[in-house]
Structure 1
Amino acid sequence: MKKIFTLLTAAFLIQAASAQSTWKVDKAHSHVKFTITHLAVSDVDGTFKDFDATIVAAKPDFSDAKYSFTANTASVNTENEKRDGHLKSADFFDVEKYPTLSFTSTGIRPNGTNKYKVSGNLTLHGVTKPVTLDVVYRGTISNPMTNAPDAGFKVSGTIKRSDFGFGSKYGSPMLSDEVELNASGEFLKQ
């Protein structure tokens, strides 16, 4: 009887593991944006042109999802070449020393219908800190071009750059300590 129970448990765990799906970001239909306030009167937006993201989930509502994200810091773009060069320098991203930033989720909890609080570790400028982001699952459709499942997500949150020693030479009100994060993306089932 004990052997049968052990075999059934193993079969269940194998089935549960195989039921997980991996979703990769469709970069052509996704963006990663940040906003910081300059001189306490104006918002400046930036994006990362080179990034990757993956979601692994077993449940169709993504309530058990695990998120991972990386961005190439040298791909920062604020539509101003001089400012972008400064952001890539040791004053800010220090792209030579810290070529990537990353986020890996550690937990998820519901926060309304198709809304979640996702906690995880953000690594920026060589510092890793826990952060919590708001995630809205926008639904899954059959992509009309590929007939494959395509899921949409919206992510938002706020971090403090002082937590990461980022741009420490530039205090408020030159640059706000709080940086808003916003991302929107389509994810293709693999």
Structure 2
Amino acid sequence: FDPDDWASARLDVTVPLHRTDLGDAKWNEATLARNLLDAERFPDAHFVSTQVEASGENHAKVTGNLTLHGVTRPVTLDVTLNALKRHPLPPFRRTAGFSATATLSRAEFGIDAWKSMIG
């Protein structure tokens, strides 16, 4: 990653949904159940970037395709570079830390249970 050339960055991330932690075991279970994320049939969320555009110091808009619940849709992530420094443990490689947010419509991914309660 080159912080002076965000446009050259690429992102390909797979998130195992069973690792989801919403802070409550029962809510985790309900979210992963068949009528919502259906993590048994669709165990991963997968995002692949198609464009990265700097949007200020340490920030970027990362546009790409998110596959969730078997459906692939375009999504834009608001990304923050939190740190770029040498890792403290051997082999002491340069390490980057990022956070990202996005707002999704679960209905666009075919997840439509509990519309009146969750939105």
Q: TM-score range by the shorter chain?
A: 0.7 to 0.9
**Where do 1:1-190 residues align within 5 Å?**
57=1, 59-63=2-6, 64-146=8-90, 147-166=92-111, 168-172=112-116, 174-176=117-119
For 1:73 and 1:154, how far apart are their aligned partners in 2? Answer: 18
1:127 is displaced (CA, Å) by: 0.6
TM-score (norm 1): 0.56
Aligned to 1:31: none
**Secondary structure in 2 matching 1:145:** coil
**Secondary structure in 1 matching 2:46:** strand
8 Å contact from structure 1 (residues 104, 120) kept in 2: yes
8 Å contact from structure 2 (residues 62, 77) kept in 1: yes
Name stretches of at least 5 consecutive residues in structure 1 with no aligned partner: 1-56, 177-190
1:132 is displaced (CA, Å) by: 0.4
Greater fraction strand = 1
Residue type matched to 2:4 in 1? Answer: D
Greater length-normalized contact order (CA 8 Å, ≥ 6 residues apart): 1
Deviations 1:12-60 (A, max 9, x none): xxxxxxxxxxxxxxxxxxxxxxxxxxxxxxxxxxxxxxxxxxxxx4x35
1:144 is displaced (CA, Å) by: 2.7
Structure of larger gyration radius: 1
**Secondary structure in 1 matching 2:107:** helix
Superposed structure 1 runs of 4+ greater than 4 Å apart:
none
Residue type matched to 1:116 in 2? Answer: A
Report how many aligned residue pairs link the two structures. Answer: 117
For 2:22 and 2:97, how far apart are their aligned partners in 1? Answer: 25
Task: Out of 101-110 and 60-69, give the one that drifted further.
Answer: 60-69
For 1:84 and 1:61, how far apart are their aligned partners in 2? Answer: 39
For 2:113 and 2:82, how far apart are their aligned partners in 1? Answer: 39
Instruction: Indicate the percent of aligned positions where both proteins have the same amino acid.
Output: 34
For 1:117 and 1:109, how far apart are their aligned partners in 2? Answer: 5
The RMSD of aligned alpha carbons is 1.8
